[in-house]
Structure 1
Amino acid sequence: MNDKAHADLFNDMVRVLLENDTGLLEHLLKHTNDGGVHASETEKKKWNESQSYKITADSGRQLINVSAGGSIFDAIKDKGTCTFYAAAGVEDSPALPNVSIRGLQTVGQDNIGSGFAIDMSGNAYFFYYDAGHTSITWTKLPTESDRNRWDNGQLVKITQDNGKPIYHGFASETDYNTLTQTGMYLIYNQGINGPSSFNRVFLLVMSYGSTLVQIAYESVYGKNTYFRVLKHNAESWTPWEKQITLSDLLEGSWETPKEIKSNWKEYDPINLPVKYRKNLLGEVEIVGAVKGGTLGNNAVFNLPEEYRPKQAMHFVGVASSIGTPGVPQFHRTLIDKEGNVCVQSSSSNNANPTEFITFGFKFSTR
């Protein structure tokens, strides 16, 4: 029988089979008429190139199990990323001997890896090993140095959580006597028992049991600072004391005499005017120059009451040397308790004794 005869015989058999098996014919026709693609080339490529390595078991549990007496290092050192479980009693587990541990190796290649693990007591660990290592290096988290730093940290807040001072706003009236907890405060109200005329204050409170210190910094111009103390077993605070600054010492507006008397005149009203001022220490300074008046206890001018010394004071100043070339001249000035400023005498310059009399004195009113 030739090939054509074989083909005809096969076709006849298929035709008979199909004609006598309606169910089979229906299935074949349904498959033939199905226009949907059963698997595209893209899908086949994705399946063929997908990662076949598992990091967990098919059940979703750990991939690697290490029994008691085994070694975590030996079990995972040649693995990639993977999950593992080590029973209690594993020789290189960082946990206590009776505690199991579960972990994840996040980076792994031959004999190089790192990862994290948590034991059943809730302790966390970081681990790593490198090429040439024969064991895992474990570090408990947080580290010992971190725990010591946190344990030794200050437990009492002295500011808000954002680092800003504890705020007392306009809606309240702050009683400074109640602020006894060590801390930093910002008080934006008039308050009571605080420094006078302060309504915007940075306040520092330092407490050592029954001894307290409050330091108040005026926050608008930044120039005034006051402090007070509540001493051990004292019933009340000390009065608020102002802290003197260099700016305070340099401040103090200049005043001019209401009247220049006894025929005296200012020597140079533009460059050497007669004037005086007082700083916060109660020190009065007098500067300037006069000429032409009467020597003795006749006042050149008079100081206001708050600028006067507690007792009479004498000063020596520079006088004119006209007529006595090369010989320095001087004068003696009296400032008495009534505030009279008197040029009592000049030196041996008899020719021009009052031609040039200078003031450059400072004294205390306290």
Structure 2
Amino acid sequence: MIYKNSTVQFDVNSEIKRSISARIQFSTQDIGTAKLTFKLIKDDIPLPISRATHGKLFMRFADGSQIYVNTEIEDALEGVIFYVLTSEQIKRYGIVEAELYVNYDNGQKLSVHKFSFEIDRALVDQDIVPVAEYYIEDFETLKAAIKDMAADAETILAELQEKFEDLDNIETKTGAQEKADAAEAGAKAYTDEHAAKIDNPHKVTKAQVGLSDVDNVKQAAKADFDSHVGNKTNPHAVTKAQVGLSNVENVRQASKTEFDTHNSDTTRHITADERTKWNAGQLYKLTDDNGGRTQIPDGTDLLTLPSGLYYAVSNKIINSPDPNAVEWFHYDVSTNNTRKTIIVTATANPKRWFGTIHTDGSFKGWQRFITDADAVVTWQSPTLLNGWKQYGTQKVQFSKNALGEVELIGSITGGTIGFDVPAFTLPVGYRPLQMTHFIGVASSLGTGSTPQYHRTQIATDGTVYIQSCSNTVNPNEFITFGFKFKAA
């Protein structure tokens, strides 16, 4: 839309304000384009305009007509409202006196400022006579306007009577009286006819009188309504119990506007999907906000944590299953408050542990899970000493399983047998808790078919000695190993 726009800024305060000339001039030909825009400021910031705020504009035109209308919101946050003069209003040329108001649903009202502007009479409109028109906001104003119209009619009749009384000077009193009576009757008939019209001759709309939201329903007569409202004796003798309000306190009820505002508040009210999500949600946080595990602060006792998923460096917390490990461990804690038990599963790939706190509060220690991966071992071959060599494809090898058991297999040949002559040495981690002896199969070459054996010692420093052999003919033809022991 194209408008001949004019913007006036008003500061809403209690300082002395004189009616100002807004330096605005419209033409009687600015039909549908004469737009008054107001920017409201309070305390140096824009005055917000909400649904509970109504800008009202009163205008008194040069022909004596006056209107009281609602403005429209252009920018609620910046406090900008506007009003576009109608095609009938723009025809009332001359100086227009106006005043802007702000009304609130809670009953508060503000007078913003008085101002004036001009409607210039276009040349093409020189022969148009403006007709006074009144816009009424409510019933009481309508009643007052009708009374004013009746008073005006009486004034006109009085003036006519005075004029006709002057006719006594130029004609007979009887003739003048007859003319005066006829004029009075004609004026009264016109006034009565106009007052009796109920077809809205001026085409006043509900929106123009501020009743756009009022339903077209039959109302009680004003007198009947006032009489009934004024009857404070409860003529029907209705009790609170009869209307089902025996437990209702006599307190102020919310207005329709307040109810609608509350009903449309999506922050206070939740949807069915939100309620279902909340009902199925966690009673307390088990993870971080992103669903991940929570890092345990250094020095935390693992056995004091509530149910949840955690992680930490093993040697920086208390009661970790492997307190010497400097790797990251993952912990799953499950707490049963009814039986006062805590079940903790700890993981440091590929190792896993399980621990329980009993109902008596005692910790039962960590138990290691053995997995398929733990069953896979790595075989190593030792460095042979003092003339010993591997025997064919049956090489001497050693390994350690997940239970910490060292297994020694294979055969050697050709070396020196003796109590202080080592055949090879096992590395750290593969040595026994204490000195250990084993009896193994030896070669029977040179002794017929009689089985032969050897005696082997493994010291705590990992030294392996072939101390003796029952085959005195060929004692070092071959020596076999096939035994296990618990590593230190």
The two structures have a TM-score, normalised by structure 2, of 0.34
Q: Mark the structure with the bigger radius of gyration.
A: 2
